[in-house]
Amino acid sequence: MWANVEYRILKRISPGNPDCCSGSVYEGKSKLAVLLGEKLLAKIRGKTVIDFGCGEGAEAIEMAQRGAERVVGLDIREDLLQRARQKAVSAGVQNVCLFASATLEPADIIVSIDCFEHFAEPAGVLRTMGALLQSNGEVIVSFGPTWYHPLGGHLFSVFPWAHLMFSEEALIRWRSTFKSDGATRFSEVAGGLNQMTIKKFENVIDGSPLKLASMELVPIRKLRLFHGRLTREFTTAIVRCNLVKRESTTPGITEP
């Protein structure tokens, strides 16, 4: 009953697909350089790199073009992998890049961009990363928005924090009017949405074979004056970190 009222409000506010999260903010720019800095691109030269959650492969292809010896792009969506393979051929890097749903190739560097709020089983992903990472390698992560960010609901954030104000039932019903993947929970939307918070991320790392070498919480620009330990869940735009194997002594610090 109440979910029905919420659904009608949502339909009134946003009658169709809000078309958020298109990635157009990076159009004409290197997402890798913007999020992780030029140093990352220098670091991957001659290395075997895994792009965990590669989507359509733009970053994997860029790493191949920028001198990575081997790039494996991993994703669970075959439609995206297919597009990535086509793009690699167009870019002439098909011999350097492999796009697949799984790999056994050990990596010097594992990059994961905008994925940790999507992985259905982040702990399992960290275990896989730990198994694939060479002993002196590093995992370089950038993701967000996290769940309590004003737009942490991604497409469900019809307005800031809408995903926290409306019920999952109403939001999913509203989404089903323009998406046809049959999702009945946030976690079932194509590509996943796991309601990741900064605290949850820290906890999942604590129980993993990897440890934090560095972590940076980039504040939402307009809220930077309010950004701090107590407010970080609501005021952080991007979580960036470097992870190394627990037994590793390599600091693996990357300054953006």
Ligand X SMILES: C[S@@+](CC[C@H](N)C(=O)[O-])C[C@H]1O[C@@H](n2cnc3c(N)ncnc32)[C@H](O)[C@@H]1O
Per DSSP, which regions of 31-87 are E strands?
Answer: 48-52, 70-74
Work out whether 220 is an interface residue with ligand X (CB under 6 A): no
- Cα separation, 96 vs 98, in Å, equals 7
Q: Are strands 210-219 and 236-245 parallel, antiparallel or unpaired?
A: antiparallel
Work out whether 219 is an interface residue with ligand X (CB under 6 A): no
Candidate segments 2-10, 38-46, 68-76, 229-237, binder of ligand X by CB under 6 A: 68-76
Candidate segments 114-122, 196-204, 223-231, 244-252, binder of ligand X by CB under 6 A: 114-122
The HSE-up count of residue 95 (CA atoms within 13 Å, CB side) is 2
Letters for 174-193 (x = contact with ligand X by CB under 6 A, - = none) are: -----------------xx-
With beta carbons less than 8 A apart as the criterion, state whether 233 and 198 touch.
yes
Work out whether 77 is an interface residue with ligand X (CB under 6 A): yes
Sign of CA dihedral 80, 132, 37, 21: positive
**Total residues in contact with ligand X, by rule CB under 6 A:** 19
**Closer residue to ligand X (CB): 74 or 109:** 74
Q: What does the block give as tokens for 188? A: 């079932």
Interface residue list for ligand X (CB under 6 A): 23, 31, 52-55, 74-77, 80, 113-115, 118-119, 125, 191-192
